[in-house]
A and B are shown apart, each in its own frame.
Chain A
Amino acid sequence: MTCRDLFERLSEYVDGELSQEICEEIQRHMEGCEPCVAFAKTLKKTAELCRRLPSRPIPPEVAADLRGVLVTHLSKRK
């Protein structure tokens, strides 16, 4: 396995989507390849950091406007 082969499959690797056989090949490659280890660790960290991004809460006036639009729509439907 080359660095390029590993690089292509790294997201599937960190997501645990690859067969055991391919995982073992990747691990064997990484034992002798420091850049690939660092790349894999930082790619995994990138995905983890996304999951921890704070979300913008809905402002009360936006929720009120939405409710207004939907109530009008629902009353027309009847």
Chain B
Amino acid sequence: MPPENEHTLIEASRAGDSAAVEELVRSYQGRVYGFAMRMCRNAEDAKDILQETFLGMIRSIREFRGESKFTTWLYRIASNACLKKRRRGVFEPEPEQELSLDDLMPRAGPDGRKPEIADWSEDAERALLRGELSQQMEAAIDRLPPEVKIVLVLRDVEGFSAEETAEMLKLSVPAVKSRLHRARVFVRRELSGYFQDQRKS
């Protein structure tokens, strides 16, 4: 949740008030750290991203004119820092070419019958209570390509809207929706595998 006096803090920070800057940082440091940790899964990198984000915030807060929400603006800096940590290799496929929906769609049986799809939504609640599920989910999310993973994290974990996510990542809204869908379908498939194994054992 943003601090109650966020607007005042931002104005004071823009005017160069160091105490206001520090308070603004304190309000958001936990959330940004959690985001960075989830994106890079490495304490050292998360610390770098955190520092880079707030140094970036201090450097450019005068340019923040309140056209978007402050959180959206701040997460744009943080998202850039996260993606910079893992630059894509020249020969890697573009994110749009990875995780194609054709590959992710459940296959029909050899005799043309519809695929069998288990509804594990109730199992998920029980696994969650036993505390087993978070690790499985984190591992599945980690297997996503970073440009797709960041969309899922911003939309479904952090709870930003498609429009806010598009603004942060400088993508179109349809591109955000397309990446989110592929990310969810992928994570769903990984979880299905987990629940299938659970049922067997």
Is the beta-carbon distance between B54 and A49 smaller than 8 angstroms? no
Q: Which B residues between 1 and 46 are near A, CB-CB below 8 angstroms?
A: 16, 18, 21-22, 25, 29-31, 33-34, 37-38, 43, 46
Which chain B positions have C-beta within 8 A of A49?
124, 128, 133, 137, 191
Contacts A39-B106, A58-B33, A74-B58; is A66 near B51 (CB within 8 Å)? yes
B72 contacts across to A, CB distance below 8 A: none
Known: A7-B105, A35-B106, A42-B191. A58 touches B18 (CB 8 A): no
In the complex, chain A residues whose CB is within 8 Å of the CB of B117: 34-35, 38-39, 42
> At the interface, yes or no: B157 with Cβ under 8 Å from chain A?
yes
A70-B55 contact given A35-B114, A55-B34, A57-B34, CB 8 Å threshold: yes
A45 and B185 CA atoms in complex are apart in Å by: 11
> Is B157 a contact partner of A50 (Cβ separation < 8 A)?
yes
Given contacts A51-B156, A52-B128, contact A33 B114 (CB under 8 A): yes
Contact pick for B50, options A33, A43, A66, CB 8 Å: A66
Q: Is A31 an interface position by the 8 A CB rule?
A: no
Residues of B within 8 A of A33 (CB): 114
Say whether, besides A39-B117, A51-B159, A52-B128, A66 and B29 are in contact (CB < 8 Å): yes
CA distance A62 to B26 in the complex (A): 12
User: In the complex, A4 Cα to B107 Cα: how many Å?
Assistant: 11
A42–B157 touching, CB < 8 Å: no
Q: Residues of A contacting B170 with CB < 8 Å?
A: none
Tell me whether chain B's interface is mostly helix, strand or loop, or mixed: helix
C-alpha gap A17/B33 in the complex (Å): 31
Q: Given A3-B114, A33-B114, A74-B58, check contact A58 B156 (CB 8 Å).
A: no
Are B101's CB and A46's CB within 8 A?
Answer: no
Give the Cβ gap from A75 to chain B, nearest Cβ, in Å: 8
Nearest CB in chain A: distance from B161 CB, A: 10
The residue that A46 contacts in the complex, of B16, B22, B138, B188, with Cβ under 8 A, is: B188
B28 CB to nearest A CB, Å: 10
User: Shortest distance in angstroms between A18's beta carbon and chain B's nearest beta carbon?
Assistant: 11
Supply 8 A–B pairs (Cβ within 8 Å), ascending by A: A7-B101, A43-B188, A50-B157, A67-B25, A69-B51, A73-B55, A73-B58, A74-B21
The 3 A-B pairs with the shortest beta carbon distances in the complex, nearest first, are A55-B34, A50-B156, A11-B181
With A50-B156, A53-B134 already in contact, 19 other A-B pairs whose C-beta atoms are closer than 8 Å: A34-B114, A39-B188, A41-B119, A41-B121, A42-B192, A43-B188, A46-B191, A50-B137, A53-B137, A55-B30, A55-B31, A56-B34, A57-B30, A58-B29, A58-B30, A66-B25, A66-B47, A67-B22, A77-B58
